């Protein structure tokens, strides 16, 4: 395993593994025995960065979520896991009632919710401190200042380490960070967005993003990262839930554009040259770029995890990387 540092403040920054493990379906679609086996193997391989959320996975059974955090809490207790494992979680998108969703009935990002939701996450995970806490989705019903102050209060109290943000318009990320800096408060240092080698269209509307996706790492976000070297991008769904390699997993509709076949061809060429899988080439491309990117990949079996782990040591040549970058 390889490692990198996230965060800039010496008091809160942490060294984490360059490959993060997504625990979204642990305790729901992925049963406890399999989840524990994947977690054990990840840690055995040197992995230290596990990602979850307070609403995972509410859609599996019509609940409000929390199954993933609860499973991680049971795993931590059964294995005697301590501060050596870095666990990130999120709040803001937990449905307020069973049978509803984060589009129509989210908990939001008020100061009250931030405090109460973070406390419940700490209880489910069985930790005194949340290593990294994200604002999961936007809440435009609450002033940004209130959200900034709500998160900062938890850092000041020592119950949260680093702060992060996911699925927000870049201008709102910058506004929140500017407000925090002006007030001398901790701000977002980790940005979690969907990012992979294939590029989706960003103008496709959805229920959550009526103007087009705010969840993808588009040109504006990547430009922002280049201008702010202290930030880290955690790239979720880097393998597109299996669509790179499985014929039964079609690409989402927003990938249906002329650039997709060209980039797929480049990936397959490099995979043949290296003897690696397409998934491994995607992860290696993300890991070895100029921007600080930590791929966040889930695994529903130890075999899937092993494939992902092998990508950490896959070194692409400058020519291979140039071809992957240039394909469009």
Q: What string of DSSP letters covers 134-176?
A: EE-S--TTS-HHHHHHHHHHHHHHTSEEEEEEES--HHHHHHH
The pLDDT assigned to 212 comes to 73
CB 29, CB 22: distance < 8 Å: no
pTM metric for this prediction? 0.96
For the chain, what is the domain count? 1
Task: Give the tens place of pLDDT for each residue, 283-308.
Answer: 999 999 999 999 999 999 999 999 99
The pLDDT assigned to 170 comes to 96
The pLDDT assigned to 86 comes to 98
Helix (H, G, I), strand (E, B) or coil at 210: coil
Torsion of CA 139, 143, 148, 149, to 10 degrees: -130
Q: What is the CATH number of the domain that holds 94?
A: 3.20.20.100
Listed residue (196, 200, 191, 132) closest to 167, CA to CA: 191
The pLDDT assigned to 286 comes to 98
The pLDDT assigned to 128 comes to 97
CB 185, CB 228: distance < 8 Å: no
For residue 136 the two structure tokens come to 């999961």
Task: Give the tens place of pLDDT for each residue, 114-148.
Answer: 999 999 999 999 999 999 999 999 999 999 999 99
Torsion of CA 21, 27, 29, 30, to 10 degrees: 60
Q: Which residue has the tokens 């940004």?
A: 144
Rounded distance, CA 235 to CA 292, Å? Answer: 10
CB-based burial, 79-115: b 16+ in 10 Å, e otherwise: eebeeebbbbbbbbbbbeeeeebbeeebbbbbbebbb
The pLDDT assigned to 205 comes to 79
Query: Considering the chain, what percentage of its residues have pLDDT values greater than 90?
Result: 93
Q: Which residues of the chain have pLDDT under 70?
A: none
H-type alpha helices, the chain = 32-44, 58-61, 67-79, 111-125, 144-157, 170-182, 219-227, 259-274, 278-287, 302-310, 318-326
The pLDDT assigned to 152 comes to 98
The pLDDT assigned to 211 comes to 75
Range of the domain at 279: 3-326
The pLDDT assigned to 209 comes to 76
């Amino acid at each position: 395993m390889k490692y990198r540092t996230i965060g800039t403040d010496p008091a809160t920054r942490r060294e984490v593994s360059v490959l993060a493990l997504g625990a979204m379906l642990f305790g729901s679609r992925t049963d406890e025995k399999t989840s524990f086996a994947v977690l054990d193997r990840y840690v055995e391989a040197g992995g230290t960065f596990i990602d979850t959320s307070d609403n995972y996975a509410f859609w599996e059974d019509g609940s409000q979520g929390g199954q993933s955090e609860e499973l991680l809490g049971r795993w931590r207790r059964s294995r005697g896991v301590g501060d050596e494992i870095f666990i990130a979680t999120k709040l803001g998108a937990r449905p307020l009632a069973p049978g509803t969703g984060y589009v129509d009935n989210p908990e939001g990002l008020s100061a009250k919710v931030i405090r109460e939701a973070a406390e419940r996450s700490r209880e489910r995970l069985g930790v005194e401190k949340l290593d990294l806490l994200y604002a999961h989705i936007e809440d435009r019903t609450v002033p940004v200042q209130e959200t900034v102050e709500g998160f900062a209060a938890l850092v000041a109290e020592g119950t949260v380490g680093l702060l992060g943000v996911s699925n927000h318009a870049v201008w709102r990320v910058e506004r929140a960070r500017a407000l925090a800096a002006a007030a001398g408060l901790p701000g977002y240092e980790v940005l979690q967005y969907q990012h992979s080698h294939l590029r989706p269209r960003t103008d496709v509307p959805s229920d959550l993003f009526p103007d087009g996706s705010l969840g993808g790492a588009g040109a504006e976000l990547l430009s922002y990262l280049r201008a702010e070297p202290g930030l880290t991008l955690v790239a979720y769904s880097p393998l597109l839930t299996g669509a790179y390699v499985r014929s039964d997993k079609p690409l989402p509709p927003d990938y249906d554009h002329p650039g997709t076949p060209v980039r797929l061809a480049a990936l397959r060429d490099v995979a043949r040259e290296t003897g690696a899988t397409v998934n491994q080439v995607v992860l290696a491309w993300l890991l070895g770029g100029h921007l600080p990117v930590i791929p966040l990949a889930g695994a529903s079996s130890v075999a899937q995890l092993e494939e992902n782990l092998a990508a950490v040591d896959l070194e692409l040549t400058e020519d291979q990387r140039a071809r992957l970058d240039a394909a469009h």
